[in-house]
Each structure stands twice: as structure tokens, then as C-alpha cells.
Amino acid sequence: MSARTALNGVPPIHALPVELIVSIIHHYAQSDFSVFYAYHDGPPREPPIMNWVALMLVCRRWRNIALNTPRLWRLIHVTADLDLLRLHLARSAPATIDVFFMPPASLVNDAMPILLTEAHRIRTISHCKDIRLAMTKASMRHFLHVGFRMLEYMKPLFSRPLPALETMVIWPTVSAVDRQSAPFDLDLMAERHPQLRKLACSHIRLPSSPTFWSSLRELHLGIRRNVQYPTLVDDILHILASTPQLEILQLPDRYSADPAPHRTTTCALETVVLQHLRIIEFCGRQDSSFVGAILQHILVPVLRRLHLEISVPHDAEVGDLVRQVLLPAARGLISTLDRLHVAANHWWVSMHSEDSDDSPLCRFRLKIHIQSDVTLNRFATAFDVLCHALQDAPLEFLHFRDSCHSRSSVIPQQMWQSFLSTCTSLRTVKFENTNLPCVYSMLDALATPGDSDGALPSCPDKIQIVRPYGVLNSVYSHDLIKHLLDIARARASANRPLQVCLEMAHLQQQYLSRFRDPRIVTVSSFKAHRWLLLALAEQCNFDGRFWDSHHKTRLDDLFDENEWERIDDEMSARRGIATGGLR
């Protein structure tokens, strides 16, 4: 009887409260809106899709609840279907709406009379970056862009009062002619948009009234390199002085390939205190003097993330770069960094606090583009910045990754010694895919006594070498292992033991392995270095992984069983202990 009652009863999914069903659908809808609201990365190329509509197929009750919940229909796409536009506006009433424009401009012109009647409900104004259309008569594709013509059709909307407007994204794709023209005037006024919280715009004439910016929380402002109408430092600082509630500031430079005009302050300005600013990002190849002039005039006591991308001449003074660009606004943030990753190639050098520079957890990122056609020492440039800026930071982990493999990218031994004497909290240094001379320079610094006390550096106590570049065969492997052994012996004799993690692969063996039958068992080429590796393991805490051909081996795999028995006997006779820990 109980089973029949359970089968004939109402399924639990149909008996959920209305508020819970609305919350479920709304939570699922946030995945659609997330692309839309992440405007600070630029307007999305494609409009968000209302995937949550599929939940209306659960049952008739769910469908009726979704149809009668206005906030679920607030995302309005301006398309050629005006009847669909009217339907969405009717279903979303009386909730606020997010209007999403799409090219071509004729769509905006046709839909504007309908939107003007609902202007008081508009919460967000945004647009699609561009739309790719397929030609019917030829297999060609072209893009429909958001240009100044489309902005002309959108301008009547801004002439109406928009009391609910919180987010505005106006980022047109301008042509070469429009790029040299004056910014487009949308006639923005604080009286019409009193609740504006988020603003992302480019090539738009910005209001000069301080009240327009007073309630702003996030600002994403495109930098103009127009010779006649450039973005001046004064303009940015005047805006920041009127934004006491600002939390996020992003200043991208999308036209970094163009020559940058000289932009300096034209009047003496007081320091702007931004009590709530948490995130600062300068994207693109920004002029270092432009970035420095802004950072020198702002005080950010609660800064949590700083991303800078600047361009400097090859003869730039690193000390001035640190004093003007890094330390003014980021002194407090830099003083808390305990991990730093350094990457470089022929054109730039990057330092970031997370392994991936685009990670949302990355608090600090500095990317320096060096204006030079010759190969320079990128690692030395980055290390010079570290020595100037991170003297007081509790740095514990330092990671170097090289993608250009230039033999000139070597940090001098004297620079290593100076850095290790000041950064006493450093515990781990990791080299990934770096050339051997760069690794040798660091190892030599660990075995060189200091000038003041004659003692070896107390830090770091762990070295990680991952796939060093240039280890082509056994000859290079022998040189690296022998170098590590000499350093480990010197550190052990000075009572400063070292922990070494070594991961190597023979490149020649990797290239030849694809022509070799995997069924044929070959001997690892690292087996020839097993006794040298064993001597290294006796001098330090050693962890090794080796790859060649189809083999992935560790130290204990390189020895035969009879060799381990002989090693045990010799070690027991010499020390009275067994080497079971090595195995």
C-alpha cells in the first residue's frame, strides 16, 4: 500500500515552493548573464543565450512560474523581430531590464521608439562587439561592427531620463578615420543617469561634471592615442578625484601599435585618496611615463590587485621605473607578496604572483615591453626590478620560466649574491625550461661566501630544476649533475644543506622515440649517471625524475638489484646504516 501511495503521489520536483523554483531558475540564468556583466574584458562578441528556458520543460507548473517571473525576462536583445521585443518587454514588466544592442545600426533605429517608452526601466545598456555574417552568393564572411553610425541611433535613448541605469558599455569598433576624429558626444548628464555604477566606454566624450562620477564603482576607460584628442593624465585624475566610491579601475590601450603622444600633467594636482579602490589594471603597451604620472597622484590604501603592462625604451633606468610606476600605489601590495613567477621571451618580461598571469587569483602582474630590435637580457631586467622593489617583501617562492632560450638571458652572479643577502625569507627557487648558464649562475652564488661575514647564503634551501633547456644528451646531463654535486658538497660542509628537485629529459632521445618501436625495451640514457646521482643524493635531500625514449624513471630505477645489495653493504660498513631511504 505504501509503494502504491508513493507512485500515485506528487513527485517532489513538482511540489517545491514557488520561491525555491524561482531561485533555481534564477541561479541557472546567472551563467547566461555572467558573460554579459563581465564587460570589463570588452563587450562580448556574441550575445548571451537564455539557456535557462530549457527548465520550463520540467513541467507545466515550472513553465507557468517562469512565464510569470518578470526578472527572468529582463535581458532584452534588440533584433529585427520587433514582436519578440514587445513580448520580452511585456513579460519583464515591471522589473528593470538589460538592453543589449546588436549591429547593424538599422535594427537600433527601428527598435528605438519601442525602447523609449520603457526608458525608465532600463538598468543596463550594452552592445555586441561585432557579428559575423555569411554571404549567400559567395563563400565569404564579413563583420558588422558597432561604429559611430550606430551610436547616432542610440543617442535619443540617452536624451531621456534613465533613473534605473546602473551599467553602461559603449565600446565602438572605430575605423581609421573615426580614430582620428573627436570623441562621440552622447550628451551624458548626471541629472539623467543618477544611479550609474559601472561604466565601460571608449571614444566617447566624457562629462566634466563631478556629480556624474560620484556614484561610480567600476570604470573601464579606453585610452586614446589621437594626436589631436589624446587621453591626458589630467583627464584621468580629474575623474578619479570625483569617484570616492570607485572599486575597480581599468585603463586598456587597444591601439598600442600607434605612436604614443607625450602625455604629462599640465597643472599641479593634489594626491587623490581612493579609499575603496581594490583593483588597478593598465592593459596594452602603456607609456611608462603616463602610467607613472597617474600612480604618483593617487593613494590606494586597500589595493588588492595590480596589473600593469608598460612599454619602455631599451635604455630605461630600472630604478626610476620602480620608483615612478611600482612603488607609489603598490608599495603595500608588494610588501605582502610571498610568491613570484618570472617569464620572458625576446620581446617582453613578465612578473606575476600566480603561476598563470590570467588567473583570477593573480594579485600582482607586471609586464614590461622593451622597445629594442636586439636581444637583451630580459631576466636581468626583471631581476633588477625585483632587487629594487621587493627588498621588504616576505618572498618565499621564486619561479623563472624562459620561452626564448637566449644564452644572453643570464642573471649575473653578483646580482644573485646581492639579492640573496637582502631577501632572507626566500626558500625555493624554481627554474623551468631555462638555459643551463642561467641555472649555473644561481648555483655558483649559493657556493660563494659573502663579502661581509664570509659565510654562504642562508637561503634558499630548495632548488627545483625542471626540464632545463639545452640538455641534448648525456654530456650536458653529466655537466649539470656534476655542478649540482659540487654545490651540494660545499653547502653540506658549511652546515647549510640543500634540497634538490631535478626533472630532465634528453631532447635527442625524445625526437628519435617516435621512430622507435615501443615494444623494444631500451636502456635509459640516464643510467650512465646513476653513480653520480647517488653521490648527489648522499649530499642533499634529492628527488629526481628522468624521461627519455619511452622511459620515465627515478633514481632507484637506474640501479640493478645486485647493485643495490652492494651499495647497502658498502654503506653499512662505512656508516653502520642501510640505504633503504634512498630506494
For residue 17, the enclosing domain spans 13-183
Asked whether 434 and 442 are in contact (CB, 8 A), the reply is no
Asked whether 209 and 241 are in contact (CB, 8 A), the reply is no
For 578, the grid coordinates are: 642501510
The DSSP annotation for 143-190 comes to: EEE--HHHHHHHHHHHTS--TT--EEEE-----HHHHTSPPB-----T
The DSSP annotation for 521-566 comes to: ----GGGGGHHHHHHHHHHSEEEEEEEETTEEEEGGGGS-HHHHHH
Cis previous bond, 44, omega within 30: no
Does residue 255 form part of some domain?
A: no
Asked whether 306 and 280 are in contact (CB, 8 A), the reply is yes
> In the beta sheet, which residues pair with residue 142?
133
pTM: 0.78
Does residue 341 form part of some domain?
A: no
Does residue 135 form part of some domain?
A: yes
Does residue 54 form part of some domain?
A: yes
> In the beta sheet, which residues pair with residue 198?
167, 218
For 107, the grid coordinates are: 535594427
Q: Around Cβ 427, how many Cβ atoms within 10 Å?
A: 14
Does residue 88 form part of some domain?
A: yes
Q: How many domains does the chain have?
A: 1
Asked whether 305 and 280 are in contact (CB, 8 A), the reply is yes
Does residue 385 form part of some domain?
A: no
Does residue 293 form part of some domain?
A: no
CB environment 471-490: b (16+ within 10 A), e (fewer) = beebebbeebbebbbebbbb
Does residue 227 form part of some domain?
A: no
Distance CA 202, CA 225 (A): 12
pLDDT per position in the chain (583 positions), as tens? 466 665 566 777 777 888 888 888 887 776 655 444 444 445 544 555 677 788 888 888 888 888 888 888 888 888 778 888 898 899 888 999 988 887 776 777 888 889 999 999 999 888 765 444 333 334 334 445 566 777 888 888 888 899 999 988 888 776 666 666 778 888 888 888 888 999 988 888 888 888 999 899 999 888 776 656 677 888 888 899 999 999 999 888 765 554 445 455 555 567 888 999 998 988 877 888 888 888 888 888 888 888 888 887 766 677 777 777 777 777 778 778 888 888 776 677 788 888 776 677 788 888 877 665 444 566 777 777 777 777 667 888 989 888 666 655 778 888 888 888 888 888 999 998 888 888 898 899 888 887 667 788 888 989 999 988 877 777 888 899 999 999 999 998 889 889 999 988 765 444 444 444 454 444 457 788 888 988 998 889 999 888 765 567 788 888 888 888 887 777 777 655 444 444 4
Rounded to an integer, what is the distance from CA 277 to the centroid of its chain?
19
* 167-170 and 248-252 strand pairing: unpaired
Return the pLDDT at 310. 82
